[in-house]
Structure 1
Amino acid sequence: MYLSPDEIHQNRLDTLHAIEAASQAWIDATGKLSELILRAGRQMLDESERHLSQLAQPGASLPLSIGSLDAWRSDSAELVRDSFAIIAQAHQTTLQIARKQVGIFDLALKRGMAHAIQHADAETGSAISHVRTALEQAETCLNELTDSATRGVGAMEEQVRQIAEALASTADEAPPAAPAPRRTRKPRAQ
C-alpha cells in the first residue's frame, strides 16, 4: 500500500519536528554551557578580587596557599564534569531523535515495498523482499549501534566523573603508595 497524502504530510511534519528537537537539544546545551562558563568566570573574578585585596594590605605576600589551589582544582574538576554531562545529554537526545526518525523513514519504505511486492511478478517480488530483509537488518544494526553509542556515552560520563573526583581530592589525602621496585634475577654463570 502506498502512503496516502496525509501520511506523507505527517512524515514531513515528523521530520521537521525531529530536526527542530535536535536543534533545540543543542541550543539548550549551548545555553547551559554558556551559563556554566559564566559562573566559572564569575568565581575566578571573585577569587582574583579577594587575592588582590589581600595583596593590597601592608606587608602582604603572595596569597597562593595550598588550600586555594585545592579549591581551584576542585572547581575546575566540577566544571569539566558538568560540561561533559551537558554535552552527553544533548548527544543522547540527538541519538534518540535520529533513531525515531529512521524508524519513520523505514516504515514508509516498508509500506512502499509491500505495495510493490503485491503488484510485481515473482522475480521482482523476490528481489524486493530481499531488499526489505536487508533494510530490516540495517535497521537492527542501527539500533544496536545507537544502543552501543548510548552506553558509550554513559561509560564516558562515569569516567569523567571519576577523573573529576580524583582531581577534586584534597592534598590532605595521601597519594597511593608506589609499588615496590621489582627485583630482577641475575643469571647464574655456568
Structure 2
Amino acid sequence: MSNAKPIWSRPKRFLILAGVLVVGFATTVTIMVCRRTPMPETTQETWQPSDADAWWYVSPDLPFNGWQEWTETPKMDVFEVSKEVEAQAVARLDERPIIQLSVDEFRLYTGQPFPAPEKQQPYLVRSVLFENTNGARSFLIKGSILWARYDCLGRPGRRRKSPVIVLLLEKPRNLFVSGGWAL
C-alpha cells in the first residue's frame, strides 16, 4: 500500500502547480499571436487581412527569461498623435517605420509643447492596437531595437494603425510591432 497522497491534498503544491499552468497557458496564447494569425471571431476561410497588417511585425524570438534584457520606455515619454492629423502621420509612416521629428512637428502631431527633456528626440513610430479593448501599449528598448507592443485581456477587436510619438536618446535601427491577448 502506497502512502502517496494526491496533489490536491497538499494545498501549497497544488496552488503552485495551478499557477504555473495558468501562466503557461496565458504566455502560450500571447506568443502564438503573430502576423498571419486569424482573428478569433472569424474562421481561416473568412479572415481577411486588415490594412494594419503592413505595420505588423513578428515579435523578436526570445527565450523565456529574455524579457530581462529589455527596458521599458517611461509612459511619460510616449505621446498619442491627435485625431486631426492621424491620417497624415499614417501616410508618412507607410513609407518608413520610424521618422525623427522636429520640435515644430512634435507640436503639430500632439498639440502640446515639446517637453524638452535633455538629449531626447521625438520619433514618430508605427504602432497598432485592437479596437474596443482594454489594452495597454508598451515600448521596449534593447540596444538599437525598439519594440512597440499592444496587449489586452479578452477578445480583441479589429487591428488598426495607431501612430505614436516616442522620445528616445537615439534613433532605433530596427522596429518590431506586435500585439497579444489573453483569454
Give the TM bin, normalised by the shorter chain.
under 0.3
Query: RCO greater where, 1 or 2, for CA within 8 Å and sep 6 or more?
Result: 1
**TM-score, length-scaled by structure 1:** 0.23
Greater share of residues in helix: 1
Larger radius of gyration: 1
